[in-house]
Structure 1
Amino acid sequence: MKFLLISFAIVLLVLGSSSAKKADCKSCKVPKIHSPICAAKSDGTKVTLVNKYFLDCANLCGKNLKFIADGKCSK
């Protein structure tokens, strides 16, 4: 019984660590979970992004965006 519990704990640790990995620029895809955020480009232009993960992904690809607020950008 202890072996099963230990095995289960190891599986959870492995799954948890793989999902917690940082986004990789080459694997950036539009995420399925939409929770819009407002971000700013380096020139001050505001842009609405799909979610916070996509912001991190874009920055890994050299976009240099800054988080402003949750929700769509106001015009």
Structure 2
Amino acid sequence: DGSHAYESVLKDYQIWSKHLMPGGYLVFHDIFPDPEKGGQAPYRVYQLAVASRQYEELPLFVSLGILKRKK
């Protein structure tokens, strides 16, 4: 579990997303759409990834956001 600061989460996403093969999964921890339930930095980067349209968004599992790289 890494840093939850926006810059750190964004950097992790930018580094690792380049290596993800089509059909591979990108999993974010501590995704809280409701700010009262948790921090927003991981959620903001998760939303950025979704907006890129490179991933299929799967249902949240507790606080895990799961994205599957499109082929």
Flag whether TM exceeds 0.5 (same fold): no
| Structure-2-length-normalised TM-score | 0.28
| Structure-1-length-normalised TM-score | 0.28
Comparing both structures, which one devotes a greater share of its residues to helix?
A: 1
Structure with more contact order per residue of length (Cα contacts < 8 Å, sep ≥ 6)? 2
